[in-house]
Amino acid sequence: RFIACPQLARTVQRCLQSGTGPGPQPVLLEFAPGPGVLTRTLLNAGVKVVALESNSVFLPNLQSLENSLDGQLKVIYGDFFRLDPLVSGTLKPPAMCSDKLFETMGLAAVPWMADVPVKVFGILPQKKERNMLWRLLFALYECNSIYRYGRVELNLFISEKEYKVLTAKPGEPRAYQALTVLWQLGCEIQLLHMEPWSSFVTNLKNGGLWIPKSVFLPNDHLCLVRLTPQQNLFTGGLKPTNGTTFIFMVKQCLAKPKSRLTDRLHSWSLDDAGKLLRQLEIPRKAQARDLYPEDYKHLFEALQNSNLFIETWFHDEALESIRNIN
């Protein structure tokens, strides 16, 4: 899928350049640009672009455009959805390591508290959408993959139903999930634009556009969403070294959103669950879906003082969760 409408390309270009202050602008990494409708619009606006394309059909035209410019465009053969796969041995292109990608882009890592070093733009394919959102979350909380290089900003077209999940409020049935808590805590989430599905070239099925069905949440648009990692994410007890454990804790709590938090804590063999909740000013009868993202972070930090998160079974479950996502 890619942007085929020049008018939409201009809208996206304006969105991507919004909110940028004076001074040097970060490089924009566009993945899966396809025929390059947006790429040319960005170049005409003076944006420096790195195009990461995995389809060899589109590479010749993109490379021809690269050769006609004086360093404003760099074309790389690679697949954003196959960065840093959990495999041994040499990677077969278009799979690649993020280290190789950033080396080719000519970019070095910057401290987490520094400004955004790179902006990423692309459209998440529907069949991989949920999986990619989880993979990016694990990379974010571990400061791994693209996040080894700093607070990389994502500008992604995602389905309206997933946008509703990412921005849901506590207590909302079906929408408020572990994905909600982790993205809201990890990133500033900003809606830049909503566009009907018909503006995109996508898979054809039975002669029409293939649009994922959604029973409980609206899904009439693709939403351009900006996800900027929080500078203060790794404060207190949350660190890249235990980020995976925190993700697993949130997933476990919200696996049954209506369950009482005390029941979940007791299932982890925590005897003084009531006392802990009182210290955190969380009602004893609170359900998992009632807690705000910040509450989950405070709960995790409080549990660091116990021996709960050093037990082997917990780490084994967390590692298995990572393998399943990858």
What is the distance between the alpha carbons of residues 303 and 253, in angstroms, rounded to a whole number?
Answer: 14
What's the first-to-final CA gap in the chain, in angstroms? 22
Q: Which helix (H) or strand (E) holds 260?
A: none
Give the C-alpha separation, 304 to 171, whole Å: 26
Q: Which residue has the tokens 């080894």?
A: 148
Q: 21 in helix, strand or coil?
A: coil
For 175-234, the DSSP string reads T--HHHHHHHHHEEEEEEEEEEGGGEE--EETTEE-----SSS--SEEEEEEEEE-TTTT
195 annotated to bind ligand:
no
Alpha carbon 223 to its chain's center: 14
In angstroms and rounded to an integer, the radius of gyration of the C-alpha atoms of the chain is 21
Q: In whole angstroms, what separates CA 17 from the centre of its chain?
A: 20
Report the alpha-carbon distance of residue 18 to residue 189 in Å, rounded: 14
103 is in an annotated binding site: no
Does the annotation flag 3 for ligand binding? yes
Q: How far apart are CA 291 and CA 298, in angstroms?
A: 11
Angle at alpha carbon of residue 224, lines to 186 and 41, rounded to 5° = 125
Q: Which residues are part of a known binding site?
A: 3, 53, 79
Q: Which residues are part of a known binding site for S-adenosyl-L-methionine?
A: 3, 53, 79
